[in-house]
Structure 1
Amino acid sequence: MSLAAVILAAGKGVRMESDLPKVFHKVLGKPLLQYVIETVQKLSPETICIVVGYKKEDIQEYFKDYPVKFAKQDEQLGTGHAVLQAQPCLKDFKGEILVLNGDMPLIKEATLKNLVDFHRKHKSSATVLTAKVDEPGAFGRVIRNKEGRIEKIVEKKDATPAELKINEVNTGTFCFNAEQLFKALQKVTPENAQKEYYITDTIALLKSEGQPVFAYQTGDEREAIGVNTKDELKSLEQDMARG
């Protein structure tokens, strides 16, 4: 079956206090985004589409010799809006689409492969990669029903005090049925604290339409680590240097 990947790399990363695009900051001599691209390449996807925005020319120039396509998100209107910009890259594509953040260099090939295999085995419309973490912080919380099935993902700024206590979080990595993904994204609205179009809203949307939606939990919470500040970048580099 066909596989494609959409990697989100449009953000400026304001808290990095730098002129560089967030995914362009280097860890052990390589941009964060390069780690993600190289891991995804190991799955031999039909297409890899990088969604760029802030200083897009720099990213396009650096990766010009890589077998990737680029989609542009000129306005930062959220993750759902970002993925929608990738639709022309994936015209007529009928398989599964992996969606990942470009600032997660610790994501493993085996985890992505297991996520895709799980998604296919369960004939899922959407499968989110989750992790149990000690400090949920800014991560979106995974809400499950009494049967243990995923109901929705709630972003931190929209969560109730009870939901904030949940320590199973969205890693920002998903596997979708291509057709269902783009249908659902057309219905996402910016009715939230950030006034953004969240890709996470597709989970509850698909669920409400009776589509099969699942969560696959990684055993290694380090894979969920993204980078938002220079301190986090330094900590990540130290972690990776230790192996």
Structure 2
Amino acid sequence: MNYTYHIADIACVILAAGKGKRMNNPDVPKVMAEVAGKPLIGHVLSQVVPLNPKRIIVVVGHHKNIVIDYLDKEYPWVDTAEQTELLGTGHAVMQTEPFLDDFYGDVLIITGDTPLLRIETLAQFIEEHQRFRGFLSGSVLSATTDNPTGYGRIYRNSKGEFLKIIEEKDADEEVKKITEVNTGIFIINGISLYSVLKEVENSNAQGEYYLTDIVELFLRKGMNFNAVKAKNFDEFLGINTVEQLAKAEEVYLSNQSIVANK
């Protein structure tokens, strides 16, 4: 599919520090698990690089050298920031501040374990946010699924206004019925991002600093934050288990076959 991108300056942060405890391979970081012979982080980067970000920073942690060696070989211009303690997604993004302290554009934040993500989806999300960049401080990409288990829920009021993201482990039974979920993809004004992140607390079921908590913080400050619905939830299948990895490969190969036969 040909697509013309109309995107102002962005930087990209890719979160790749996780252990992947349920992947049954403790010696390999989760983002180095492979789909169709390519590491998960490679699939994500292949969709990010054509967007021409001014900088790409990959946050590494568990078995960091394996990830860094891959990046040095395949994407030598990409920077890496280290998360020495795995204290949550908000804490992970904070590690990138020294790389972006002089950057005044928008920061795209993506998890490194979403191999089915498409560049067209990312570009359209960024464009939608930047159409209102004078009004919006940030946007999160959401999607609807019949099986939202495991995902943070997009919480709206009776008027449909986006209020916050509630993580699965902090959700009550009513919230768990919500089918609109957080895909883990954000775009946030770089000037505001790090100052607001410093206010995030870890008073939650996990004892972690959630990136998702910035939504409420922005809104409390009177700064607007949007949730943009994507069309296809399947693109955002995250990889946490061997079964999910196998499913992602099945979908990926099916998609490749469809493209080849067009």
Give the TM-score range, shorter chain: over 0.9
Residue in 1 that maps onto 2:227: 215
Q: Cα deviation per residue 1:79-122 (whole Å; 9 max; x = unaligned)?
A: 00000001112120000000000000111111111111111112
Given that residues 11 and 22 in structure 1 are in contact (C-alpha distance below 8 angstroms), is that contact kept between their aligned partners in structure 2? yes
5+ long unaligned stretches in structure 1: none
Structure 1 CA distance for aligned equivalents of residues 68 and 182 of structure 2: 28
| Partner amino acid, structure 2, of 1:10 | A
Deviates more, 1:170-179 or 1:59-68: 59-68
Q: Cα deviation per residue 1:62-92 (whole Å; 9 max; x = unaligned)?
A: 1104120000001000000000001112120
Structure 2 CA distance for aligned equivalents of residues 23 and 197 of structure 1: 21
Residue in 1 that maps onto 2:100: 90
| Count of matched residue pairs | 243
Q: Does 1:7 align with 2:14?
A: yes
Matches within 5 A, 1:98-113: 98-113=108-123
Secondary structure of the structure 2 residue equivalent to 1:228: coil
Q: Does 1:59 align with 2:67?
A: yes
Give 1:239 deviation, angstroms.
1.4
Matches within 5 A, 1:63-82: 63-65=71-73, 66=75, 67-82=77-92
Q: Cα deviation per residue 1:23-79 (whole Å; 9 max; x = unaligned)?
A: 000110000000101100010000000000011111111110412000000100000
Given that residues 151 and 182 in structure 2 are in contact (C-alpha distance below 8 angstroms), is that contact kept between their aligned partners in structure 1? yes
Structure 2 CA distance for aligned equivalents of residues 148 and 203 of structure 1: 15
Residue in 2 that maps onto 1:21: 29
Residue in 2 that maps onto 1:200: 212
After superposition, the CA RMSD in angstroms is 0.8
Deviates more, 1:196-205 or 1:87-96: 87-96
Given that residues 149 and 215 in structure 1 are in contact (C-alpha distance below 8 angstroms), is that contact kept between their aligned partners in structure 2? no
Residue in 1 that maps onto 2:240: 228
TM-score (norm 2): 0.91
5+ long unaligned stretches in structure 2: 1-7, 256-262
Structure 1 CA distance for aligned equivalents of residues 122 and 195 of structure 2: 23
Structure 2 CA distance for aligned equivalents of residues 147 and 107 of structure 1: 30
Residue in 2 that maps onto 1:189: 201
Given that residues 88 and 208 in structure 2 are in contact (C-alpha distance below 8 angstroms), is that contact kept between their aligned partners in structure 1? yes
Residue in 2 that maps onto 1:128: 140
Structure 2 CA distance for aligned equivalents of residues 171 and 239 of structure 1: 18
Secondary structure of the structure 1 residue equivalent to 2:147: coil
Residue in 1 that maps onto 2:53: 45
Q: Which residue of the other structure, out of 40, 57, 71, is the alignment partner of 1:32?
A: 40
Structure 1 CA distance for aligned equivalents of residues 161 and 10 of structure 2: 25
Structure 1 CA distance for aligned equivalents of residues 186 and 159 of structure 2: 21
Structure of greater Rg: 2
